[in-house]
Structure 1
Amino acid sequence: MTSQETLATRSVVAGDLTVAYLEAGPASGLPVLCLHGAVQTKSVWRPQIAGLASDYRLLAPDLRGHGETLGDTTEMSVESLAVDAFRFLDALGVERAAICGVSLGGMVALEMAAQRPERVAALVLADTPLALSLNGPLRAALEWLGPQRILPAAFAVLGQHRTARWGIAGAKKIFGKEWVGADAERHFVDGFSSMPADAVVAAYAAIVAADPAAIRALDIACLVVIGRHETQLVIDHAGEIARRIGRAEIVTVEAGHVSNLDAPEAFNAAVKSFLAELP
C-alpha cells in the first residue's frame, strides 16, 4: 500500500469537472468510494486509507467546489453531487463500488443508491442525516432562512475564518464539546477558510434543500455508523435509514459528528468487518 505520508493527489476529468482524488489499495480489490462531508476534503479519509487499503481499492475524491476540485456550484444539490460521483467512477472505469460517506457524503451515497442501486455494492453511512428536518413546514422555513441569507452576511462582517470559529463555538455550546473532535474541527476551519465563499454557501444550501423522499427500500447491505456524541436528530435518522433500507446494521462508536476522524480505529474495524461479510 502507498503510505499516507507519500500518497499523491491524482486528477481525472469527469463531466465538467477535473476531480482531484486520493487512491490507494490493490486494483483488484473491491472499490470503495469515500465521500467527505460539507466544507471538508478528501484528506479526512487518510485514517481509512492507512487502515483499509491493504484489502480494498479506496477512492477519495474532493466533491465539487471542495478542496482541489473546482467547478460551477450554482446548481449544487445532493442529487447533482450523486451524478458527479457516478461520472467520477465512470472516468476511472469502475462499474460497481461500495459507497462510504460521512455527513453530506452519506446523503450523497444514499442518493446514489436511490438513482442507480445496481452500481452500489454496499453502503457505509457515517453520521448521516436524511435532511435537516422531515417536517414539511419546518423544512420550508429552513430553506427560506437558509445559508444563502446567513452566511454571506457573516462573511462580510467576520470573514470566513472567524465565521468558522464562531460556528464551531456555537455548535459546542448547543450540541456539547464532544460533538466536534480536534481533527474534525481543524478540517472544518481549514475548509471553511480556504473554499470559495459561494461554494461554502452552496454546500450548506444543498443540505438544507435535501429531499429524503427518494430513499426507499433497497436490497443493499448497509452499515450505519453513529458517534455516541452525535445530535439526536442524526441518531433518530439513523434508525429511519435502517427502517427504510431494511438491510442495515447500526454501530455506535466513541465519537462526535465526524466519526471516521474522531474514532478511526473503531470506525475502520466496523467497516472492515462489514465489508468482509459481503458476498
Structure 2
Amino acid sequence: MARILISTSIRLGFDEAGSGDAVPILFLHGVGSDKSVWAPQLAHFGAQRRALAFDYPGYGESDPATAGTTRDDYAAAILAAMDALGIDRAHVCGLSLGGVIAIAMYAAAPARCVSLILADSFAVHPDGAAIYERSIAASADMRALAEGRVDALLAQPADASVRSEVIETMAKIDPAAFRIGAEAVWLADQRDRAAAIRVPTLIICGTEDHVTPPALSRELAHLIPGAQYEPIEGAGHLSNLERPVEFNAVAKTFVEGVEART
C-alpha cells in the first residue's frame, strides 16, 4: 500500500503488483468499496505486468475529497496519478462507479486508454435517482447500510468470507465521501460519451447482478462500437470478487487479444 501526490494538496492511495514492459492495467472500485476489492486481480495480472488499484479522493488511504467533487474529478485524479507513476497509457478496468469513471477517463484523455473493461456498470441507470436518494438517506450509518445492502450486492447464497469482507470495507467509508461517490455513479448519464468510445472495450456483468442488471451492460455494449459482452455466471454485482477466476480469465483473454492486434 502506498500514496502518490497528484496535486499540491492531494494524495491518492494505491496498491501495485508486478512490473515489466507490458502495458499496465488499472483497476477502479465501486461506490461502496475501495482499492482492496481488486486484490485477486492484482495478484493475477501482476504476474505479467504492472497492475494498480486506486482509492478515489475521500476513499481508503486517499486524502479527503472536497465538496462538489464529480465523476470527472475522479477521472482527472486517476489520470494525474498515472502521470505521477510514469504511466503514459494503460488498460483501464472499472466496476460499477469504476466503470463510470473509466468512461469519463476516456472522454478526457482517449489516447491514454489502450482498452476499457467495464464491469457491472452502465451508461445511465433507469432507477439511478431513486438509488441515489436511498443511498443518501442511509449514509449516516455506513455499517448499518453495509449490513442491509450486502445481500443485494452478492449472488445468493454468498460466500461467508466475501460477505464479511464487503461489510467491513463498506463500513469504513467516510459518509461524506460515500455521498459524493453515490452522486457520481447513480446520477450519471454518459450515453453520448459511451457512443464516442473508439478503443477495444469489454463489458462484463454477473448474471445475478440485481443492482446493475445484465440488461444495462448489454445496452452499454450496444452503445460502444465493437464492444464485447461477457457474462460471469453465478456472480452478483461484485463479479470480480465473487468469481475471481472466471473474471480474471475473461479479462486476461481480452487484454492479450488487444495486444496481439496492436
Q: Which residue of 2 aligns with 1:14?
A: 6
Structure-1 separation of matches of 2:180 and 2:211? 25
Q: CA deviation at 1:72?
A: 2.2
8 Å CA contact 1:220, 1:245 repeated in 2: no
Shift in CA distance, 247/56, structure 1 to aligned 2, threshold 3 Å:
farther
Change (3 A) 1:253 1:208: closer
- Map Cα deviations across residues 197-232 of structure 1 (whole Å, 9 max, x no partner): 211222112222212243223221011111111128
Matched, 1:207 2:185: yes
* CA distance in 2 between partners of 1:220 and 1:113 (Å): 9
Q: Which residue of 2 aligns with 1:93?
A: 86
Q: Which amino acid aligns with 1:72?
A: A
Larger Rg: 1
The amino acid that maps onto 2:184 is: A
- Indicate yes or no: 2:250 matched with 1:258: no
- Going from structure 1 to structure 2, the CA distance change for 1:185 and 1:76 (only over 3 Å counts) comes to farther
TM-score (norm 1): 0.83
User: Structure 1 pair 264/270, CA: closer, same or farther in 2 (3 Å)?
Assistant: same
RMSD between aligned residues: 2.3
Shift of 1:250: 0.9
How many pairs were matched up?
256
Percent identity over the alignment is 29
Are the structure 2 counterparts of residues 80 and 277 from structure 1 closer, same or farther at C-alpha, using a change threshold of 3 Å?
same
Pair 1:73–1:131, CA change in 2 (3 A): farther
Match among 43, 48, 54 for residue 50 of structure 1: 43
Report the equivalent of 2:253.
273
Show structure 2 runs of 5+ residues with no match.
none
Matched, 1:221 2:200: yes
Q: In structure 2, how many angstroms separate the alpha carbons of the residues matched to 1:144 and 1:271?
A: 29
Between the aligned partners of 1:204 and 1:184, the Cα distance in structure 2 is 22
- CA offset at residue 147 of structure 1? 3.7
Q: Residue 243 of structure 1 corresponds to which residue in structure 2?
A: 222
Determine if the alignment matches structure 1 residue 60 to structure 2 residue 53: yes
Q: Deviation string for 1:7-31 (max 9, x for gaps)? A: xx12110124211111111232211
User: How far apart, in 2, do the equivalents of 1:243 and 1:162 lie?
Assistant: 37
Q: Which runs of 5+ in 1 are unaligned?
A: 1-8
